[in-house]
């Protein structure tokens, strides 16, 4: 697979645009005039995009990005809170584990393919939580990152608490969440909040996709589930999940393809993902 430039389809009225270019799905926030601020319609469209991609067994990775000069400047309060009844519905979890504000970010962790956030410009609040719920985060050196909720007297939310606590030591997380301190992309990488810094983060992200695409899509999907599924469980639950996933991999068609190609010292040609 060769790296390609981001598709340049003309923006439409949708707040979220999904474009599939070979094995890569590009999901773009499309409110550049608002620095891709998140409103309630954006939440709906992001969830719909992720739900549709979950059923696509041909793609090998998802790139999350923002059109224009910013990834996402956070929640667009002025727009999102015009309909207070709708906000209340989205905030209530009811019998579900997460509410809709949390679901919009958690859903990317559930995709059976790697999700890579490509960050430039602003990465604030809801935007940072979206990036944190991706599996990898590539950023320009001069991008600005901030857990901005402190500015408004709030705590981190929208499912960001889980990845923040995985990526950062407790004292670092509390400092950033209590102050809303702004970080450069370089500093975000130093702290472990971002994965890699690059002048062209999209090219760096696609280089990683190219590496991952050389492996079985089933083992990639199972690895993602294994890592997230064992973060907070007991040892017994962790080892049980490890055994169950490995058993599934032994039976997977793409595993046989990988073994055969490895024995022949040839590049494997995998079929569609069968796991996840």
Q: What is the pLDDT of residues 160-194, one digit of tens each?
A: 989 999 999 999 999 999 999 999 999 999 999 99
Residue 3: what pLDDT? Answer: 34
Is the residue at 175 inside a domain? yes
Give the range among 123-132, 138-147, 240-249, 255-264 with minimum mean pLDDT.
Answer: 240-249
Could you tell me the two tokens for 54? 């979950």
Residue 8: what pLDDT? Answer: 40
Residue 4: what pLDDT? Answer: 35
- Residues 241 and 202 placed together within one structural domain of the fold: no
- Residues 206 and 258 placed together within one structural domain of the fold: no
Per-residue pLDDT band at 31 (split at 50, 70, 90): very high
The CATH number that applies at residue 166 is 3.90.226.10
Q: Other CB atoms closer than 10 Å to residue 81's CB: what's the count?
A: 13
CB 21 within 8 A of CB 59: no
C-alpha distances in Å from residue 260, one per residue of 257, 265, 274? 5, 8, 18
CB 246 within 8 A of CB 226: no
Is the residue at 29 inside a domain? yes
Domain count, the chain: 2
Adjacent-strand bridge partners of 183: 145
- Residues 164 and 123 placed together within one structural domain of the fold: yes
Is the residue at 52 inside a domain? yes
**Residue-averaged pLDDT of the chain:** 91
Could you tell me the two tokens for 253? 């068609």
Is the residue at 53 inside a domain? yes
User: Which of these three, 196, 212, 228, is where a domain ends?
Assistant: 212
- Residues 99 and 149 placed together within one structural domain of the fold: yes
Is the residue at 56 inside a domain? yes
Phi first, then psi, for residue 181 (nearest 5°) are -50, 140
Contacts of 134 (CB under 8 A, 6+ apart): 64, 108, 115, 116, 117
| pTM of structure | 0.87
Residue-number span of the structural domain to which 222 is assigned: 217-264
Q: What is the pLDDT of residues 122-162, one digit of tens each?
A: 999 999 999 999 999 999 999 999 999 998 888 899 999 89
- Residues 143 and 257 placed together within one structural domain of the fold: no
Per-residue pLDDT band at 276 (split at 50, 70, 90): confident
User: Which of these three, 193, 212, 231, is where a domain ends?
Assistant: 212
Contacts of 219 (CB under 8 A, 6+ apart): 249, 252, 254, 255, 258
Res. 235: pLDDT tops 80: no
Percent of the chain having pLDDT more than 90? 74
């Amino acid at each position: 697979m060769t790296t390609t430039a981001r598709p340049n389809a003309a923006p439409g009225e949708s707040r979220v645009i999904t474009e599939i270019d070979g094995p890569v799905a590009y999901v773009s926030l499309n409110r550049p005039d608002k620095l891709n601020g998140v409103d309630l319609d954006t939440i709906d469209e992001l969830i719909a995009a992720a739900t549709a991609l979950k059923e696509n067994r041909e793609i090998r990775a998802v790139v999350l990005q923002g059109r224009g000069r910013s990834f996402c400047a956070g929640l667009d309060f002025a727009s999102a809170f015009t309909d207070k009844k709708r906000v209340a519905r989205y905030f209530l979890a009811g019998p579900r584990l997460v509410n809709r504000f949390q679901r919009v970010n958690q859903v990317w962790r559930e995709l059976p393919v790697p999700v890579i956030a490509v960050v430039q410009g602003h990465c604030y609040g809801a935007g940072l939580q979206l990036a944190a719920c991706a599996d990898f985060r590539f950023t320009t050196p001069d991008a600005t990152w901030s857990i901005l909720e402190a500015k408004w007297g709030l705590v981190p939310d929208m499912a960001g608490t889980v990845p923040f606590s995985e990526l950062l030591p407790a004292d670092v997380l509390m400092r950033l969440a209590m102050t809303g301190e702004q970080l450069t992309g370089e500093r975000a990488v130093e702290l472990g909040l971002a994965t890699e810094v690059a002048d062209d983060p999209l090219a760096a992200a696609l280089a990683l996709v190219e590496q991952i695409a050389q492996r079985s899509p089933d083992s990639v999907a199972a690895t993602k589930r294994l890592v997230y599924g064992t973060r907070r469980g007991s040892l017994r639950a962790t080892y049980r999940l490890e055994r169950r996933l490995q058993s599934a991999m032994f039976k997977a068609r793409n595993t046989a393809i990988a073994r055969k190609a490895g024995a022949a010292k040839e590049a494997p040609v995998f079929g569609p993902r069968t796991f996840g």
